[in-house]
């Protein structure tokens, strides 16, 4: 492409003076190079003139793009163009086709889309745009498709426009029609599915470098668009979906509401009266279609109350889902009663019960369930005459956790018998549930997220969870399993990742979970890798000095029949381009075609896991001390970015949880209290991502007043 760009720019340079002298001069010529077709145009408006050209680049059988490069106006004319509101005569007629020789191309079309002259017309740099086209007709699967695929692009995006609404019809044009002699840029703009304005290039760049830059843009677009379709062949039926429990705030709920809106799904919220989404404010109406106030008390009547609310709603409901662990069984029961898509109730009943899910992969006598310390003592007791032996003999270390629970709440590692009763008491006091006593599996912990369709793995992502407090050899019963970070993609060797995928997928499908998104936590026992310090202060998963004596096995820790929590869903969406909330809702309304579409990751092929656009590190920021949050003009995350700009360029996303005047404790519900999370990335190496994450953690400053 460099040769094509060089010839195009050479022609532009030679014609610049003539174009400036003749405001209505219009030059069109054609050149081909490989699979590209380049057009050169001039737009002149009285004393304001810019030369530009476009290049048609086929990406694959699904998409092609048009890269547009606009040269700055000559210095003598640039001063007159500083005022974007200057009163200049327009060579185009008020109506009808443009007269011969006029330049009805780039300016007119982009102006209609909001690219006004004050954005691109008066720049001293070289403006560049990319127009995206589908090669096929069809119906739009998702409104924010291109925005999702372009997130965190290494080329800086200044302005981005998607022209289509969800479910709308798109009519394709061919690359040949764009590059034909009769085509104009205005026609291209009007037919484009999306338009990207990139950061201006410096006029000091060589022609060759400009060509290389645009080649890089084209490669980047290919990696993001090559393996996924965004249009369905048949019209998409508009559907309505009910969400049970509307999420506690906009941080946790925002990605859900945005996904529903982009998919063209009408969202109905079912929750207790007084929920923040109940009032019919203009903002709330953007998040949901309706709010059905319902008593959500977790008793025997909650299923009937939800069904009654749905039946009373005047519009049809096509699906129902929840992201709240304690309502999985309830919602599946409602779905079955109303004939809505769902996995079996029995599968959810097993998944939410940590004891029953442990038995899916257990050896006899290794796991026990007790409802009290008294029951524990009876289980461990030996009769005075020695005839009655203990029915359960734990092999330390063991894990003690609530049968019903989440977020590592009240989960303890017990290394000595005298601490067992304390751990059981802590677990049984949480959620009023019994406690599970199970083996501690020594090995790297992993999060495995599956997108399944009738048992087929559409997408599987494995992330590494570095050691936490309770993983230490000298950990006590008071140390927690609260996560400290998450690193993507996994550093486990490919064969161990395949063991994890196969083992955990088979468990899910056997249980009845064959379609949807599932977040599974596990450990690799006898792994060939271990965590070691690889640089000062940098601990990561690396190969052991000697291979393990036994074959690696994957041990299930727990099944979450939902997307990972909103914090952990963020890295997947950014790293791979897969939106788990969209997957969850499409499965709930039985839209299998679009589910397959949204489960496609990027097509990057490099030293990283295929599909990942970079290495990423999710950093949890724990409360530094007990106290009350002080007033500040900016958030701690924004303050960090301003203070450390070299870190800011790696920060993909930062979310602060605290507000001034809020009381902060070190622990909440038996788990560490977090005050923020940040996602950082590196396109250089996994080690750099970890190092940046460590720096972010060390430099985050939350103002606290000691009471």
Torsion angle (degrees, nearest 10) of CA 233, 234, 235, 237? -120
In a domain, 447, yes or no: yes
Helices (H) and strands (E) in the chain, counts: 23, 33
Cross-strand bridge partners of residue 36: 33
Are residue 456 and residue 551 in the same domain, yes or no? Answer: yes
In a domain, 362, yes or no: yes
In a domain, 349, yes or no: no
H/E element, 628? strand 627-629
Residue finishing a domain among 589, 613, 637 = 613
What pLDDT does 287 receive?
Answer: 94
Cross-strand bridge partners of residue 409: none
Residue finishing a domain among 384, 410, 439 = 439
Cross-strand bridge partners of residue 38: 31, 55
> Reduced to 3 states, what is the DSSP secondary structure of residue 66?
strand
Cross-strand bridge partners of residue 629: 704
What pLDDT does 38 receive?
Answer: 55
Q: Would the CA dihedral through 474, 478, 481, 485 be positive or negative?
A: negative
CATH of the domain at 321: 3.40.50.20
* Relative orientation angle of helices 580-588 and 250-263, to the nearest 10 degrees: 60
Residue 354 region by backbone torsions, left for phi larger than 0, else alpha for psi between -120 and 50, else beta:
alpha
Q: Which domain holds residue 324?
A: 240-342
HSE-CB at 706 with a 13 A cutoff on CA atoms is 2
> Reduced to 3 states, what is the DSSP secondary structure of residue 34?
coil
Q: Do the beta carbons of residue 441 and residue 383 sit within 8 Å? A: no
Are residue 565 and residue 643 in the same domain, yes or no? Answer: no
The 10s digit of each residue's pLDDT in 428-477 is 887 667 999 999 999 999 999 999 999 999 999 999 999 988 888 888 88
Torsion angle (degrees, nearest 10) of CA 561, 562, 565, 568? 100
Are residue 607 and residue 632 in the same domain, yes or no? Answer: no
The 10s digit of each residue's pLDDT in 285-335 is 999 999 999 999 999 999 999 999 999 999 999 999 999 999 999 999 999
Q: DSSP of 95-161, one letter per residue? A: SSSPPTT---SHHHHHHHTT--HHHHTT-SSEEEEEEEEESS-EEES-TTHHHHHHTT-SSPEEEEE
Residue finishing a domain among 419, 439, 459 = 439
Are residue 489 and residue 500 in the same domain, yes or no? Answer: yes
Are residue 583 and residue 684 in the same domain, yes or no? Answer: no
H-type helices in 644-699, by residue range?
645-648, 686-699
Are residue 481 and residue 414 in the same domain, yes or no? Answer: no
In a domain, 90, yes or no: yes
Q: How far is CA 236 from CA 173, 228, 263, 603, in A?
A: 21, 18, 10, 26
What is the rounded CA–CA span in Å between residue 377 and residue 397? Answer: 18
Q: How far is CA 217 from CA 66, 575, 606, 684, in A?
A: 11, 18, 17, 19
Pairing of strands 456-465, 445-453: antiparallel
Are residue 504 and residue 598 in the same domain, yes or no? Answer: yes
How many domains are contained in the chain?
Answer: 5
In a domain, 329, yes or no: yes
CATH of the domain at 386: 3.30.1490.20
What pLDDT does 233 receive?
Answer: 93
Cis amide bond preceding 77, omega within 30: no
What is the rounded CA–CA span in Å between residue 127 and residue 110? Answer: 13
What is the rounded CA–CA span in Å between residue 16 and residue 11? Answer: 9
What is the rounded CA–CA span in Å between residue 634 and residue 17? Answer: 51
What is the rounded CA–CA span in Å between residue 533 and residue 7? Answer: 53
**Residue 362 CB neighbour total at 10 angstroms:** 15
Torsion angle (degrees, nearest 10) of CA 392, 395, 397, 398? -30
H/E element, 256? helix 250-263
H/E element, 4? helix 2-21
Are residue 74 and residue 175 in the same domain, yes or no? Answer: yes
Exposed, middle or buried: residue 660 (CB in 10 Å: 0-12, 13-18, 19+)?
A: exposed
Cis amide bond preceding 52, omega within 30: no
In a domain, 668, yes or no: yes
Are residue 296 and residue 323 in the same domain, yes or no? Answer: yes
Q: Do the beta carbons of residue 108 and residue 45 sit within 8 Å? A: no
**Residue 625 CB neighbour total at 10 angstroms:** 10
CATH of the domain at 671: 3.90.1170
What HEC string does 394-463 produce?
A: CCCCEEEEECCCCCCCCCEEECCHHHHHHHHHHHHCCCCCCEEEEECCCCCEEEEEEEEECCEEEEEEEE
What pLDDT does 173 receive?
Answer: 87
Q: How far is CA 178 from CA 65, 184, 361, in A?
A: 10, 8, 59
Residues of the chain under the 50 pLDDT cut? 1-36, 42-48, 76-122, 383
Are residue 581 and residue 519 in the same domain, yes or no? Answer: yes
Are residue 204 and residue 256 in the same domain, yes or no? Answer: no
What pLDDT does 387 receive?
Answer: 59
Exposed, middle or buried: residue 630 (CB in 10 Å: 0-12, 13-18, 19+)?
A: exposed
CATH of the domain at 539: 3.30.470.20
In a domain, 226, yes or no: yes
Global pTM reads: 0.86
Name residues whose C-beta falls within 8 Å of residue 254's C-beta, 6 or more positions apart in sequence.
none
In a domain, 348, yes or no: no
Cross-strand bridge partners of residue 523: 445, 555
Are residue 406 and residue 453 in the same domain, yes or no? Answer: no
């Amino acid at each position: 492409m460099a040769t094509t760009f060089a010839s195009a720019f050479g022609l532009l340079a030679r014609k610049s003076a003539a174009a400036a002298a003749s405001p209505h001069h219009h030059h069109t010529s054609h050149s081909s190079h490989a699979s590209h077709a380049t057009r050169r145009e001039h737009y002149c408006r009285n004393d304001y003139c810019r030369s530009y050209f476009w290049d048609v680049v086929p990406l694959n059988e699904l998409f092609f793009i048009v890269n547009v490069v606009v040269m700055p106006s000559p210095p003598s004319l640039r001063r007159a163009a500083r005022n974007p509101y200057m009163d200049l005569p327009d060579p185009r007629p008020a109506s009808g086709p443009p007269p011969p020789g006029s330049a009805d191309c780039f300016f007119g079309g982009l102006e209609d889309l909001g690219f006004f002259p004050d954005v691109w017309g008066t720049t001293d740099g070289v403006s560049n745009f990319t127009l995206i086209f589908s090669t096929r007709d069809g119906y739009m699967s998702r409104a924010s498709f291109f925005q999702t695929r372009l997130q965190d692009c290494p080329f800086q995006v200044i302005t981005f426009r998607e022209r289509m609404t969800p479910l709308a019809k798109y009519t394709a044009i061919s690359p040949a029609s764009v590059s034909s002699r009769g085509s104009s840029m205005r026609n291209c703009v009007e037919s484009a599915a999306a338009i990207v304005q990139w950061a201006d290039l410096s006029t000091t760049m060589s022609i060759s470098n400009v060509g290389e830059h645009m080649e890089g843009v084209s490669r980047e677009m290919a990696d993001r668009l090559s393996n996924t379709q965004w249009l369905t062949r048949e019209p998409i039926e508009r559907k309505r979906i009910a969400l049970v429990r509307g999420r506690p705030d906009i941080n946790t709920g925002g990605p859900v509401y945005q996904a529903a809106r982009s998919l063209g799904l009408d969202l109905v919220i079912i929750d207790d009266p007084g929920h923040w989404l109940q009032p019919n404010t203009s903002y709330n109406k953007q998040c949901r279609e309706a709010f059905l106030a319902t008593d959500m008390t977790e008793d025997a009547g909650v299923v009937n109350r939800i069904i009654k609310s749905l039946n009373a709603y005047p519009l049809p409901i096509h699906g129902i889902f929840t992201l709240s662990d304690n309502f999985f069984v309830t919602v599946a029961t409602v779905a079955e009663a109303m004939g809505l898509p769902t996995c079996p109730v029995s599968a959810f009943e097993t998944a939410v019960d940590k004891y029953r899910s442990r038995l899916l992969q257990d050896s006899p006598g290794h796991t026990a369930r007790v409802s009290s310390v008294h029951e524990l003592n009876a289980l461990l007791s030996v009769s005075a005459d020695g005839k009655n032996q203990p029915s359960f003999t734990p092999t330390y270390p063991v894990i003690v956790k609530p049968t019903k629970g989440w977020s590592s709440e009240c989960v303890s590692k017990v290394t000595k018998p005298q601490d067992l009763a304390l751990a059981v008491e802590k677990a049984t006091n949480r959620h009023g549930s019994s406690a599970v006593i199970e083996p501690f599996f020594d090995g790297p912990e992993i999060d495995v997220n599956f997108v399944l369709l009738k048992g087929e793995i559409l997408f599987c992502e494995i992330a590494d969870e570095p050691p936490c407090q309770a993983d230490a050899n000298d950990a006590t019963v008071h140390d927690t399993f609260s996560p400290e970070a998450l690193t993507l993609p996994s550093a486990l060797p490919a064969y161990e990742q395949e063991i994890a995928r196969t083992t955990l997928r088979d468990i899910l499908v056997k249980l009845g979970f064959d379609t949807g998104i599932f977040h599974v936590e596990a450990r690799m026992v006898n792994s060939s890798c271990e965590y070691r310090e690889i640089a000062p202060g940098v601990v990561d998963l690396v190969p052991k000095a000697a291979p393990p004596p036994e074959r690696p096995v994957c041990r299930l820790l727990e099944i979450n029949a939902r997307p990972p929590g909103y914090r952990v869903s963020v890295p997947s969406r950014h790293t791979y381009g897969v939106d788990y909330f969209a997957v969850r809702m499409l499965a709930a309304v039985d839209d299998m075609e679009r589910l397959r579409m949204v489960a496609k990751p990027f097509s990057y092929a490099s030293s990283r896991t295929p599909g990942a656009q970079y290495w990423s590190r999710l950093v949890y920021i724990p409360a530094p001390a007990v106290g009350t949050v002080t007033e500040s003009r900016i958030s701690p995350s924004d303050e960090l970015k301003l203070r450390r700009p070299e870190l800011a360029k790696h920060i993909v996303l930062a979310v602060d949880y605290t507000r001034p005047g809020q009381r902060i404790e070190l622990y909440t519900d038996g788990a560490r209290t977090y005050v923020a999370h940040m996602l950082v990335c590196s396109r250089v190496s996994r080690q750099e991502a970890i190092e940046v994450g460590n720096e972010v953690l060390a430099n985050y400053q939350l103002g606290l007043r000691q009471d």
